[in-house]
Each structure stands twice: as structure tokens, then as C-alpha cells.
Structure 1
């Protein structure tokens, strides 16, 4: 006979049970047993006023910026909890907080943040000590990979892309062999930076296409009943039967509606983060639709492909408008030259979608609007820097409009002036970005190369 004793419901554990060494079964597990706010984590481990101030900034400013449009378990909870136990992670977070505070303050022109350098050095020494043991222990360790991720952010924020990419390559090599419960958190972050590195540095650096993960993520994560991508392809095969005598632009607009573009269903107005997440998802859907058009037109003539691409202008305009809204620049003056306050995010954001539109769309007004938005946004998104991409888009414009006068629409850019197969690369030694491309028409097997001004 087991005697049942009523739980006294003392927190954090029942005194009647803990005093006798028993496991308390008196609590009913609920979803609220886990703290919901990062601020509820103890800050007692940050002893000095300097450390406490830095971490306070990290909680209030850094985490909301880093996580972008959706919550991140890694930043909101995991790395903060790890810092309670691991001194190396703690130093790394304090260093990152100091650097981010300087990064967001345009008036601070100091290139040497002494507190950040001190804590970063301490974090590196602790990290080296922790990884000097057996490989089996390293693979099981959550602190080694978490600290490496924070180190990548520190290097990116300092503009040390070569160091950040080197850390990323090592993390990519170790991650498949890691054996701890937090691997999915690391994969989410590492996969995103892999896409950035393949876009910016070398598309073959990890042995796969930079868009493999992105396409899979879009299709799988946002799949609607009936598979919206398959539905789009069916529509494309027989647009006339479905849309009757609608113009091609109207067909595209209808296609956007029928492709399952998400709606926000709220009794009340959505939060700014929910609206931004919706816009980001919608941008990615629209780009997927343009990818489908490209696939369908792969075997058509140069003239037909150019006409098809020019007809996608309504989709491109919507995509840019969504990016504009997420940047808070929807009502900005095109003549405005004062950029937004610097921001640093680790989600896919707007830089990638704006570049994708600019490299496909030849409309001179929309392209120049994209350049303006990229310059004004003053953003870092992982390895991507908006000002660098503004220069890349401007270079594409300069190449395709060279020698032309009075370009008012995409039809004013002839096929002989258009380029294709653009790819970007970044020389880690010269710290120089290069765009490589071929003419759209002609039999040239050689790529042309143009350095990007930074």
C-alpha cells in the first residue's frame, strides 16, 4: 500500500517530497511551467555593471533584431540558458552585445571597442580550452557549437567576412556528426548562413546549389492542401482555358490569388511582427511563382523568354512593395538620402528577394527603386549587406543600359544588351566582390567579370 501525501505546492519543488529525497508527483505539467520571457532568466551571473548593461541591451534590442520576423529558440532561450553555466558562452554574448550596441549607434565611430575585445578574447580562450579534449566530447557539447555561432555573428558585425566564412565551413563540417538534442537549432542557423555564403562567396563551396535548401523550405514549410506549386504548373499549362480573355498581367494577378497566398486571420489587427512574417512569406511565394515561369519557358526562344520575363512586372512590383513595407519605407521619398539606423538580422529578410527581382526585372524605375531601398535600409542580414547589394544591382543596371539612351521601360533594353547566368563571388583574400555573367544572346562560352565597388 502506497500512502499518498498531498503536495504542498511550494515552488520550485514540494518541500515535503524534497526533504525526504522523493520525486514530487504532485504537480500537473502545463505549458506554462516553462518561463515565456527571456527576461525571467537570472542575470546574477553578470557580475559587473558593464556586463549587466551589455546583456540588458542584448535582451531589449539585439534579440528582437536578430530573430527578425519569427521567434528563435536559439536566441530567446537556448544560448541565454547556456550562458548561465558556461563562462565562454557568457563572455561571447557580452562581446556580441557590446559590438551590436556600437553597430546600432552611427555616432560611435570607434573601431576598437575595448570591452568587446576583452570579452571576445576571453571567450576564444575558453572555447579553445573546451574543444581541446576528445572529439567525442566535442560532438556531444552544446557549448562548442553555440559559441561558434555567436563567434560568427561577432566576425560578421566587425566586417570580417573571411573569418566568418571560415567558422561557418568548420561548423558545417562538424554539424552532421554532432550528437546532442539542440542540433535542430543549430541547423536552422547554419543552413541560412550556408545559403548566404553560396550566394555571396561561391555557389559551389558546400557542394550543392545555394537554392536547394531555400526551395525545399518554401515548398515544404508553406505547402497548402493540394500542393500549391503543382497547382501553379497546371494553371500555367492551360491559362487560356481558366482565365478566358484576361490580359496576361491579369492572369498573373489571378495566379497569385489562386496559388494559395496566405491570409492573416485575426479578430484584431496583426502585430507588426506577424504582418512582417506574412509579407516575407508572400515575397517568397511570388519568387517561387516566377521560378516556375522560368522553368516553363526554358525551351522557348530568347524573344519569348524576354517577353515572358517583362510581363512578370506586376509580380515584381508586389514583391518590392512587400519589402518596402517590411523596411518601414512604404511612404518614403525617393529623393531621401538619409538611411535608416543600422540593423542586424539573421533571417532571410529583404536583401535576397530584392536582389532576385533586380537581376530578373529590366524595368528601369523599379530597379532604381530597389537600389534606393537597399541603400536606405542600412541592413546586415547574416552575411548579406544591403549597401553591397545596392552596388551589385547598380552594376547590373550599368552593364545592361550601357550605350542606351532614354530607357523608360524594359522594352527599351534590347536582347543584345541583356545579360544572363549572373553569379556572385567574393575573394576572401582581396576582399573584393565580383559579378560574372554571359550575354543573353550569342554563342559565347566565356563569362565576363566585373568587380563591384564597395
Structure 2
């Protein structure tokens, strides 16, 4: 099994540090200064951040940690976990990571690093600082590197549990890098985790690995629209970005089962889109033709219809027995939002004119309505817009609002979706609302130049495919696009990021 790539430099050491707090015996017994433990300290807290009901299980049960590490673990339980599971309960973040923190130092230090970055991120928002607090960053990087070093040593063992430990660290590092806005490192960790999962069949995987495998699929599915580790967003999934997976029609007895079943459908619809993109571009493939693509579209349509009927039956039966909690209501609305999005996406997969999207205006309006309800439940739970979570691991409103802005040409509906994107600045996995707002605004401006006096955008002025490449300094982006019908070939426009 490959080791997780070390994407940050760490200090070299000829004698292995035994990680004893303050100064380890291996270093001090040889007259060396131990630089491997808490060289950096966190600044004192001056800003009070909102927290959920306190939980002290990690604080009380993990000996040998200094005050800063305990502080980070407390922040992780009280702030980071509620943020990450904003849309729905998560076995990974509400149970598994806490268990592994107790048993595995590599996971514990990875969690401390994530928490330190998160606290600094929240602090910068509350105090409107333009620059990060370097003490937080130094401390977090030290914890990050210590986790890496421990993980490298752990991987050399023959312990069958090491795969699950590596995957847990890997997914923690992904969230950390996304919070930092470092897509290159986030993609490196994601790919490494996927490689580990591919190296062993699912039937031989331990329970921990099976739980984490679902979390990786959750992160990887929307990645289809991100072309490589750079900040490049595509209008159609590029070749090889997503593979078709087996879809099983299983009964829906819980919200989790509904989400898992829809996620597989989402993955396969993205796969169809990638095939259509290859076909539209004229790439030679003996397996791609209008007949085979139409057959795949029809089969997926049947699957989506069956899912819709089963979901309606589940919702009706549940409502007749017990009332939904606030989070359950939000989770169901997210599923319904994604269902409306996938319905329009699948229905227009083989259309190169972009005119078919006009037939799905009810779905686009439904997306806006559901997203308004979802955001309202967050405001109810957190008390105000300013306290809403800044990042969640699951995909929620962002991709659907993005889709509505890009593919709906009704001016009022499209503008409403854009305003909803602006209401709540946050990240959902690889989706960043700030970046999405700027992409949508740029594409809308391009198409509005061709809108006629009646408010209609003719086919020749509609963007069919697009690729957005963000400059390294994040101050501008280049939109490369092809209009429906292909007139004029690929064009590009430079847009500032405001």
C-alpha cells in the first residue's frame, strides 16, 4: 500500500522522536534539543465563537496532550464537527473519527491540525482580518507534519487496521486543505485515498474502510466537474473524471439509504455526460454513437423514475408515523433538490442546442424554492446568517444553484438562484460559493448580450460548454466557452474576481 504523500515539508531527524510531551527521552538523552513537540503555541482566545452543546469525551479521555492540543480537540468537538455535518448526520465525523482519536495518535494530531486551521479561519471571519494568524498556522503545520510522520511509521506495520487509519487521516487532510483553499494538496490526498480503496476488494474491507469508502465517493462524485488539481471548472465532465458504477434498486427505509442510492445515480448521470461530451467533440470511439447514448439515457431515466417513486413512498410513510426533525427535514429537501437537478441534467444530456432546458423551468423554480427552505433551516438552527457553517463535507445547495444559474435562461429564476448563492458564503466539498458566484455572473453576462427585447436568449447565444481557469493569485479567471451549435469555435473572456 502506498503511503499518503507528504505535501508539506517536515523537519528531518536522525534519531526518532518518541513523542513524549515537552521533550522526548530519545532526544534529550543524547544531548539534543527536542524540536518535535509543541514548538509553537496558540494565541489566547480574544473572540468568542458560537458553539454547540459541549462534549468533553476527548478532553477527559486522552492523556499526554498539552493545553493547546486539548483546546483544539475541544474546538473540534464543539465547532468543527457540527460544521462538517451541517446537512445530515455522519458516521465518519460523529463517531468514527472520535473513536480513532482515542486509539491512533496519527489521527489525533491530524484532527488537532484541522481544528487549529478551522479556528483561525473562523477567527479571521469574525474579526475581518485579511491575513491569517501565523501562530495558528505554525502550530497547525507542526501537528500536520507530526501526523504525517506517525502515519509513515504506522504504514510500515502489518496491522490490518492501518488502511482505515490512513484513510481517516487522508480525509481529514482533504478537509483541512479545502478549508485552506489548496486544491492541489486536497486532490493529492483524495486520489491517494481512492488508490488505497482500489487496492482491496470491497468484500474483504473492514467495517471502518467501508464507512470511509462512502465518504470518499461523496467527495469524489462532484469532482467530475473539476478538471485536475488546479482550480479549473468544466461545464461537462472531462474524459476519465468519473466511472460508471453498479446501481442496485434497494428499498428505502431511511434517509441515509435514499442518499446512497441517489449518489450512485448521480455518479452514473455524470458518467453519461462525460460520454456525451466526448461524442459532441467528435472524439473517435467505436462504442459511442447516438443509439448507445440514447439507450443509456433511457435506462437512467427509468432508474431515476423508480427512485422518485420509492422516495415519495418513503416520505409519505414516515410522515404518517413521526414528524421530521429539523436536520431530517433539511436532508430530505437536499435529496429533492438534487433529484430536480438530475432530472433536468439527464433530460438534456443529448441536446446540443441548449433549448431543451427551457422545458425544465418548473424544475429550476423548484430548486430555488427548496434551497430557500434549506437555508432557512440553517438560520433557524444557528440563529443568524453570520453563524452559519463555513464548510460542510456533503454537497447541498451549491451545485444545484450553480446548475440553475448556468442552464436556466429565465431571467428572474436565474437571478434568484444567483442571489441565493450570495446569501451564504461557504464551501461544500470542492464547491466554493465565492468562486461559483463569479463563474455564474461571468456566464450570465456572456449570454445576456444576446438576449432579445422579449427576454429570450436564442440558441446561437447560449453557452453549451465552458471551462473556467482561475489565475494563481485568485484575482481573475478566464472563461473559455463554445456557443450552442459551435459557431465561432472556442472563445474566451477574462473576468475579474470581485
TM-score norm. by structure 1 comes to 0.71
Matched-pair contact (CA < 8 Å) for 1:317–1:366: yes
1:85 to 92, 97, 103: 103
Deviation of 1:425 (Å): 5.0
1:277 to 312, 318, 331: 331
2:78 corresponds to:
60
1:373 to 420, 439, 444: 420
Q: Does 1:121 align with 2:153?
A: no
- Consecutive unaligned residues of structure 1, counting only runs of 5 or more, are 1-36, 235-255, 333-337
Cα 1:89–1:220 change in 2 (3 A) is: closer
1:316 corresponds to:
364
Separation in structure 1 between the aligned mates of residue 117 and residue 336 of structure 2, nearest angstrom: 33
Moved more, 39-48 or 86-95: 39-48
Q: Does 1:185 align with 2:211?
A: yes
Separation in structure 1 between the aligned mates of residue 415 and residue 105 of structure 2, nearest angstrom: 48
Q: Does 1:288 align with 2:342?
A: yes
2:490 corresponds to:
447
Separation in structure 2 between the aligned mates of residue 71 and residue 329 of structure 1, nearest angstrom: 15
2:240 corresponds to:
208
Deviation of 1:157 (Å): 0.9
The CA RMSD over aligned residues, in Å, is: 4.0
Is the partner of 1:104 in helix, strand or coil? Answer: helix
1:397 corresponds to:
444
Separation in structure 1 between the aligned mates of residue 358 and residue 495 of structure 2, nearest angstrom: 26
Separation in structure 2 between the aligned mates of residue 431 and residue 168 of structure 1, nearest angstrom: 26
Separation in structure 2 between the aligned mates of residue 322 and residue 291 of structure 1, nearest angstrom: 17
Cα 1:51–1:103 change in 2 (3 A) is: same
Moved more, 374-383 or 61-70: 61-70
2:116 to 89, 98, 105: 98
1:146-157 correspondence runs (5 A):
146-157=168-179
Is the partner of 2:60 in helix, strand or coil? Answer: coil
Equivalenced residue count is 381
Matched-pair contact (CA < 8 Å) for 2:121–2:132: no
Separation in structure 2 between the aligned mates of residue 232 and residue 172 of structure 1, nearest angstrom: 27
Deviation of 1:198 (Å): 2.9
Matched-pair contact (CA < 8 Å) for 1:66–1:345: yes
Cα 1:323–1:430 change in 2 (3 A) is: closer
| 1:68-107 CA distance string (max 9 Å, x none) | 3222111111111111122222122122122223333422
Matched-pair contact (CA < 8 Å) for 1:54–1:97: yes
Deviation of 1:54 (Å): 2.5
Cα 1:432–1:167 change in 2 (3 A) is: farther
| 1:83-142 CA distance string (max 9 Å, x none) | 112222212212212222333342242513524532432332342343257667488512
Q: Does 1:362 align with 2:379?
A: no
1:29 corresponds to:
none
Matched-pair contact (CA < 8 Å) for 1:43–1:52: no
Cα 1:433–1:135 change in 2 (3 A) is: farther
Deviation of 1:199 (Å): 1.4
Separation in structure 2 between the aligned mates of residue 442 and residue 134 of structure 1, nearest angstrom: 51
Is the partner of 1:347 in helix, strand or coil? Answer: coil
Separation in structure 2 between the aligned mates of residue 452 and residue 358 of structure 1, nearest angstrom: 17
Is the partner of 1:422 in helix, strand or coil? Answer: strand
Q: Does 1:50 align with 2:68?
A: yes
Is the partner of 1:169 in helix, strand or coil? Answer: helix
Cα 1:266–1:102 change in 2 (3 A) is: farther
1:259-278 correspondence runs (5 A):
260=312, 262-263=315-316, 265=319, 267-278=321-332
2:224 corresponds to:
198
2:261 corresponds to:
221
Is the partner of 1:69 in helix, strand or coil? Answer: coil
2:374 to 305, 326, 337: 326
| 1:413-434 CA distance string (max 9 Å, x none) | 1222111023445677989754
Deviation of 1:38 (Å): 7.3
Cα 1:430–1:107 change in 2 (3 A) is: closer
Cα 1:215–1:309 change in 2 (3 A) is: farther
2:30 corresponds to:
none
Matched-pair contact (CA < 8 Å) for 1:199–1:210: no
Separation in structure 2 between the aligned mates of residue 441 and residue 385 of structure 1, nearest angstrom: 30
- Consecutive unaligned residues of structure 2, counting only runs of 5 or more, are 1-53, 229-233, 249-256, 266-298
Separation in structure 1 between the aligned mates of residue 368 and residue 448 of structure 2, nearest angstrom: 21
Separation in structure 2 between the aligned mates of residue 192 and residue 181 of structure 1, nearest angstrom: 17
Separation in structure 2 between the aligned mates of residue 231 and residue 190 of structure 1, nearest angstrom: 23
Moved more, 163-172 or 388-397: 163-172
TM-score norm. by structure 2 comes to 0.65
Moved more, 366-375 or 110-119: 110-119
- Larger Cα-atom Rg: 1
Cα 1:168–1:433 change in 2 (3 A) is: farther
Is the partner of 2:480 in helix, strand or coil? Answer: strand
2:198 to 173, 176, 188: 176
Cα 1:354–1:197 change in 2 (3 A) is: same
